[in-house]
Chains A and B, each alone.
Chain A
């Protein structure tokens, strides 16, 4: 198994996260170390084992489908890095 610099670039792209060129080879080495270590799971026979879907045997509770918090635009936008007339502002998406 080998994660090379090209693979690092590809994963970083999927994660929408800039990785500096100078950090790529170090990251590749570390990811390989971690994945090599994880490979010991291959020893475990899981042929007839079902994957975990819930940690406890609890049935997830549901709440009533009711609107509870209305009209909090000011609160919602209070942390925005850039907004205008109740909208978040982002770089132009549609040409």
Chain B
């Protein structure tokens, strides 16, 4: 066994028993990152910082101290978390050269927990995308491929993070999810992705896309690893008024190995025409597995499901157009000179934003503009109320929902790019939980007929991450997904 094929929980135990040091673990991951540069999973590598942190972790351990489950563990940090002294780009040209003078709360929490950042991972520009093809730093490759010579997308927007974890470049990655940006790439790359309840993680220092939806979460190889990593990310933060003061449970302790009597809801509206038959099959298999583990299966209805995606494409661009107004070329990042101040703003933003970001700023500006606000934005916020009400109604009767994560498997880079709406369909199953701020988790459910990973998604009521981990762990054991990305074999990572 190589050190890069470990899980977080496995590495934690072996670091504790002294089988190897954090420095050894980090060195092996750093050299793997070097070897796997063609995936384009990282925008910036930080090997010196990583080695320094690893040595400090080893010194702590030698004194008999440890900072918890993440101490000495190599992780990637999505390049939208501000990291003090380390380039932070959100994969956009407009943040050229931006070196934050402060640390985001989430990455700071991980660092305080001893986690070792080995680099900043690639992503869709400003987290807008579902294929990691909108990055200013180029597309990311999925370590999963077929024998047709075509590179697959890793999903997005956290494509670099998912690709890095799936290809053994790091044991986990801190990412963010606005409409599915953790769960959809987890599904495409055959790993676990988890979005906690809105408010569990502080958004302070995280480059803002859509403030009522953005939430940080972990990408890991197992459900248990997600519980360990999430523990280190969450906190109530006075610097983010929407960060929750709810009591934070011990997430790993929720993994009891028993789901007898758990009520699992199957929402009929998730059986859509765009879904491939093999996804339907996978979903049914998941239902059977949970039933055999002692869960009670309940058919439920979430009647406004189909409206979640169009609602999202009003609310998210509206909030984005407002959040991205700060990029004006005055205080940081790119500046393109102009004849006067307005011309400088327009030139900077015209050159600094990529195509998809521009498209969304245009939509957002339009739906918020005078005369259209009621018809679009207000209407969307009302439909969002109905979507939230749907979930409230069924969580009286069930503990958790089981759905597919994506309607299809990873597609080749360059496909599905002609029509923006076709690309948006990627997030059809992940957006509803985002709209309601609910925790949800994607785990590998199996392989498609062609041989690409497909994910299953669990959703619970707000602040019930424990049930997600409890149920996710059982499903993971029952599915026993033992495949690994072909790239790992090819490169030996």
Contacts and interface: CB of A to CB of B under 8 A. Distances in A.
A3 to B, nearest CB: 7
A78 B351 CA distance: 22
A61 B376 CA distance: 30
A67 interface: no
- Looking at chain A's contact residues, the main secondary structure is loop
Contacts of B310: 37-38, 40-41
Given A55-B198, A79-B98, A91 B366 contact: no
A51 B385 contact: yes
A58 B198 CA distance: 10
Interface string A55-95: 11110111100000000100110111110000010111100
A58 B242 CA distance: 8
Contacts of A37: 310, 313, 421
A56 B244 contact: yes
Interface in B239-255: 239, 241-246
Contacts, number: 168
Contacts of B331: 79-80, 88
A39 B421 CA distance: 13
B242 A60 contact: yes
A11 B365 contact: yes
Interface residues of A, number: 49
Interface stretch (B265-273, B334-342, B468-476, B482-490): B334-342
A17 B350 contact: yes
B341 A91 contact: yes
Contact of A15 (B239, B361, B436): B361
B358 interface: yes
Task: Give the bracket for the number of chain B residues in contact with chain A.
Answer: 35 or more
B328 interface: yes
Contact of A50 (B239, B380, B382): B382
Contact of A46 (B197, B321, B382): B382
Interface string B348-362: 011101000011011
Contacts of B236: 61
B342 A44 contact: no
B378 interface: yes
Contacts of B99: 78-79
A64 B246 CA distance: 19
B175 to A, nearest CB: 19
Nearest to A8: B362
B350 A18 contact: yes
Contacts of B179: none
B383 interface: yes
A11 B362 contact: yes
Contact of B363 (A18, A31, A57): A31
Given A55-B436, A55-B437, A76-B101, A16 B358 contact: no
Given A41-B383, A80-B330, A81-B329, 10 more contacts: A14-B369, A16-B349, A31-B363, A33-B419, A38-B313, A46-B379, A51-B385, A80-B332, A81-B330, A90-B341
A-B complex: 6 closest residue pairs judged by Cβ atoms:
A18-B350, A51-B381, A79-B332, A55-B437, A81-B335, A46-B382
10 contacts: A16-B328, A18-B351, A20-B350, A27-B359, A34-B421, A41-B310, A41-B311, A56-B462, A60-B241, A79-B331
